[in-house]
Amino acid sequence: MKNKMQTLFFLFALLFSFNVYADPCTDLVKALIAKQDMPGMEKTGELVGRLKKFADANKLPYQILEVGPAERRVQKLFVALDMTDDALVAKYLKEFNLDSADKPTLALEFGFEVPNEYVSGVLRTSADPKAQIYRWGKLDLTRDEWAKEWMIKGGFNRYPEREHNPVWGYSHLIQLKPDEAKNVKHFLKNPEERGPCKSDNCVAWTASIELGKTKTGATDEERKYLFNELGVSRSSAHYEIGRRLMHAASERHSGVVVFVNGKEGTAAFKKNLAGLLPPEPQIPYSNIIKGLGHDPKGELMQAVGKLPDGARIFFPIAAGASPEAMSALIQAAPKLKKGFEISLLVNGINESTLRKGAELADGKIRFKSFFVGSNMRKLHGEGYVKYVPGYLSDFPRYMKDPTMKDFKYDAIVVRVSPADKNGNHSLGPNHDMIHAILEGNPKVKIIAEINENVPFTTGDNIIHTSQITASFKSKAALAGPPVVPFTNVEKRIGEELGGLIDSGSTLQIGIGNIFGGLPDGLQNAGKKNLKISTEMFGDSLKDIMERGIAKKAETGFAYGSEDLYKWLNKNKSVKFVTTEAVNSPANIQNTDKFHAVNTALQVRLTGDVNAEFGPEGRLSSPGGQVEFMSGAARSNGGKSIIAIRSTAKNGELSSIVLDLYNGHVTTPAESVHYVVTEYGTAVLKGRTTGDRAVALINVAHPKFREALRDEALEKNIISPAEASEIILDAPVVADFVVRPYQGRAIASHQEGFFERIWNAININFFHVFKIYSH
């Protein structure tokens, strides 16, 4: 017993002493600083060292996180700065500014307009808080005004609730050489010389500091990754530009200051910094690069050379589309007499690549699309992409119909997995319409990108090596949807949906971050034994299956994270089927308890839904929404549900409206049973137009309810008696980020001496005691 206690004491002392005295964060900072010096940078001026010294001198907590996309993972130093401490803020401004002669620092500062959306970042040059900062190309605010009115209050007190948030913003710091600082100042004062990117954050790019002068040996292709497709929502674009500038710079010459709200914000920083940072875009930067800078050669160009002049070519949906093959076609087309006519679905290939093809002389690349997605909205609006209206269950039938000449293709370009032992290649996260084309024309040429990242999925979505006309190999990551912060609003919507969806039902959900709270909602409501039958399978459905809420799924295609694609590999619980089958309204209405859950841009007080048009024109297409909603409305025990945030455009517009944009109806009121917002569920099924209007106004954002009521009264949509049922004074649902950041904590320095002693006792002693007690 004595020996056992001595051993216990020795282990405790060893572990205790390590935790109290070792500081892994300091060691990692030293490692970052110790990296080889870059030309023109003095050791004493290293940003990481300066930021670490600043944190130590002011007793600020700091952490090192590994951030960035897979191919550009870098370690960054994050330091918490209490924005309520004016003296501390003044020290920060004095230490990190562009006017410093010996150590100029580019400070790109970002704040929230609403908790999950970013205002355009500002570029601060001076240490003077009364000096003006560059914001949207203007010098109209001082740094003090920016911090207090925008960063803290979300834009001149439009969102006063923001004052209670733990984090108010961030500052991306990048140390420059004197000539780089001179370039930045020049372009700030001469905006007409900035080129196509007018934003203040683009100044850093125009001044050529993004890669060429902060990283040795940068290639032209690497330079372009900053400002091709950003892979994020428009509201996050400026933050993303700043983040990419940091990733492009040396780890030693960039860091992040996190603006926190007093003691509560500091505590939140210590506890969960990773959860407070904006998520990375899931589109890999290597894919973003592909458009403008890609130079296809070798076997890829040989494969494209197999296609006849004037060929009609089909590209599959989303991750099944090959950016490399598209670039090769664009390169080959100018040498041909007729070029190519290319039919697309949605996403998978960025706008930059499509534009390069669309703008070729003499129309050598002509695009048709069955769905107008984010990558082709502008091109469609400019007349470069011709839209083909229709349903995804109809198009495969057209492809098999010999009378539908416009749907007869000379070639299809597919992404496939490496072959199995039988020579079969999987179409991976796709099935959609490929086999319908092959059935309609067995002699169609197949150009295949054989990609090791394509999972071998379950279903008849395979082609044999003997069917492939020509192939090329690629290691490119598969495309995924852009990531936007998951907020408390989506959490509340998930809770409402969890209560509405029945156990034992067959579930379809549409695309969008709005469904991020659904897995928690279903689990918390105790729902079980679901089946999944959906056009698109995303990460939320993966989460639902991993929790055991559903065990089997069928889908037309998958679109999501790298983890999703890996999870689908040889996963027999998810079967890939044709969109002709899974989207068929007849099949859906013949499935008992079919629950279709989709989203929209607007819902009219009658229940009509607009999922396609914004104020300036077409933003999207129906996709499978009408098929699933109409089928579910007719299913025995079925439910057709629209889930929608109550507001749009950063809270400036109501999503519940009297009039739809362009008057366009995607899904008619007759096929909408329920509308869910963060304020509750409006039951529309079997109700009068007046009852529907009241129910919808009662789930609208409270700040719009009175105006909606008054307009509805004026237009005789509701009666005075019905108007009395509208609840005007409802609490506002707080909107804050809850989705974890996709960074990985490396180390942190954030505890006082006695706190570290207690943690050492708590962690090490009781852990050793537990070992010995067994």
Tens digit of pLDDT for each residue in 505-516? 999 998 778 898
Q: How far apart are CA 540 and CA 515, in angstroms?
A: 7
Can you read off the two tokens belonging to residue 622? 């129906």
* pLDDT tens, position by position, 694-740: 999 999 999 999 999 999 999 999 999 999 999 999 999 977 666 54
**Residue 772, pLDDT score:** 28
Indicate the pairing of strand 613-614 with strand 617-618: antiparallel
Torsion (CA) 749, 751, 757, 759 in degrees, nearest 10? -90
Amino acid residing at 527: K
- Work out the burial of residue 252: count CB atoms within 10 Å of its CB; fewer than 13 is exposed, 13-18 middle, 19 or more buried: buried
Where is mean pLDDT largest: 175-179, 507-511, 550-554? 550-554
Mean local confidence (pLDDT), 659-676: 95
Taking CA atoms, 550 is separated from 428, 508, 624, in Å, by: 21, 12, 21
Q: How far apart are CA 514 and CA 495, in angstroms?
A: 12
DSSP secondary structure string for all residues of 103-124: S-EEEEEEEEEETTEEPPPEEE
CB–CB of 744/4 below 8 Å? Answer: no
**Residue 204, pLDDT score:** 56
| Domains, the chain | 7-23+749-774 (no CATH), 46-281 (no CATH), 295-474 (3.40.1080.10), 488-723 (3.40.1080.20)
Mean local confidence (pLDDT), 153-177: 75
**Listed range (177-186, 464-473, 706-715) with the worst mean pLDDT:** 177-186
**Residue 456, pLDDT score:** 98
Q: Is the pLDDT of residue 242 over 80?
A: no
Q: Is the pLDDT of residue 363 over 80?
A: yes
**Residue 418 gets which letter from DSSP?**
P
Q: Is the pLDDT of residue 597 over 60?
A: yes
Confidence band of 4 (pLDDT split at 50, 70, 90): low
Q: How far apart are CA 382 and CA 384, in angstroms?
A: 6
User: Out of 535, 580, 627, 678, which one is annotated catalytic?
Assistant: 535
Q: Which residue has the higher pLDDT, 72 or 318?
A: 318
**Residue 595, pLDDT score:** 98
**Residue 740, pLDDT score:** 44
**Residue 214, pLDDT score:** 45
**Strands of the 506-509 sheet, one edge to the other:** 458-459, 574-576, 550-558, 530-537, 506-509, 594-598, 639-643, 674-677, 680-683
Can you read off the two tokens belonging to residue 497? 């949906």
**Residue 183, pLDDT score:** 78
Q: Is the pLDDT of residue 425 over 90?
A: yes
**Listed range (70-84, 245-259, 419-433, 673-687) with the worst mean pLDDT:** 245-259
**Residue 307, pLDDT score:** 92
535 catalytic? Reply is yes
Q: How far apart are CA 275 and CA 298, in angstroms?
A: 44
**Residue 562, pLDDT score:** 85
Indicate the pairing of strand 62-67 with strand 411-416: unpaired
Angle at 81 between CA 77 and CA 86, to 5 degrees: 150
Alpha-helical segments (H) within 473-558:
488-500, 518-524, 539-546
Q: How far apart are CA 129 and CA 376, in angstroms?
A: 43
Closest to 360 (Cα-Cα) out of 387, 335, 380, 377? 335
Query: Residue 684: how many CA atoms within 13 Å on its side-chain side?
Result: 29
Average pLDDT value for the chain: 81
% of the chain exceeding 70 in pLDDT:
74
* pLDDT tens, position by position, 627-658: 999 999 999 999 999 999 999 887 889 999 99
Q: Which residue has the higher pLDDT, 121 or 290?
A: 121
Confidence band of 170 (pLDDT split at 50, 70, 90): confident
